Structure formats: C-alpha cells, structure tokens
Amino acid sequence: MIETSVDVQDLHTGRIQAAEIEPHEELAGPMVYFNASMAGHFAVHVRVENSLDVSWGSSNRQSAPLGASPYLVQVVPTKIDGYCTRARGDGITRTAAGLPTTFSVFARDKFQNSCLGAREQIHVHISQRRNSELVVPMDLNITEGEDGRYDVEYVAPYESGVMLLSV
C-alpha cells in the first residue's frame, strides 16, 4: 500500500505544519492545501511511504522523498484590502495653509501582509468644499516607501474650510 504525506516548512521561522491532501476532480489528481496566511518562502516536503508484505505477519515499510522534493514555494501578498489598510500622520487631521503636509498610507492585504510594488494602486484624493460645492481635488505627491508604506504630500490652499480626504 502506498501512502503520501506532505509537510510544509516556513523557511523564515522554521515552523513545520502538516498539509492536507484532497482529490481534485478537474485536475484528475490530488491537491495540497496548507495555511500560508503570511507572505514568505516555504519548502513543501512530499514523502511517499510504501508498505510491502514481505511474508506472513511481517511488513517492510520504506519511506522516501518524492521526485525533486522539497519544492520551494513563494507566497506573495494578495490585493490591497481597504479594511486592513491604514492612514497615519498629522496631515490627516490638520495642516497649515500654504505649507507642505504629509501623512502615510500603510497598504495591507486581508492577512495583514504589506502590499508594495507598482502592481498595487493607491488612490488618494483631497478636495475642499466651497459654498456647498466640491472643488477640484488638490495636487498630491505620492511616493512608495518600504513595507507597503505610501507617503502622501500636499499643500493646503490659503482659503479656510473643510477638506475631504479619501483613500
């Protein structure tokens, strides 16, 4: 009888977890599932165990890695999740007219992984109401920092009023 087992090792922490093997009808073969809620590098170890009946009442068990096991897998962040993304800094709540002001947006996916790189778009709009009408949004300078941080710089107009910030 042949049995297969799969263990997944987080290469950053060294933590090992057992993976689930389930049949997949569309692929006509098994699928391996493991919990990789954090981005990182993982080693997937696949072992095949063969039980051979050598004689009456005894068995010989042999275990060996499958093919090129371990297989290296890189888990990357998913798309930005608005619920998990945060904005911080003085420029969110106050500014001085005519002076540059900044705040940061920390882009995260639904697992709290940092989302960075050109593939993710951060949309920030700051506008002001004048006489119950929305004025054209202000010019913003958005620069990508490290770990999914985007720094936003703007200059508030000299006119007083309430500004609307949308991230």
- The predicted-structure confidence for 66-105, as pLDDT tens digits, reads as follows 777 788 888 877 788 888 889 999 998 888 888 899 999 9
Residues 71 and 97 in one domain: no
Give 58's contacts (C-beta < 8 A, 6+ positions apart): none
Q: Is residue 120 part of a domain?
A: yes
- The range of the structural domain enclosing residue 94 comes to 86-166
Q: Is residue 81 part of a domain?
A: no
- Per-residue pLDDT, 158: 78
Residues 67 and 91 in one domain: no
Task: List beta partners, residue 64.
Answer: 48
pTM exceeds cut of 0.85: no
If you write DSSP's letter for every residue of 92-137 in order, what string do you get?
GT---TTSEEEEEEE-B-TTS-B--STTS----EEEEEETTEEPPP
Q: Residue 56 is part of a domain; what is its CATH number?
A: 2.60.40
Q: Tokens for 124, please give them.
A: 């920030």
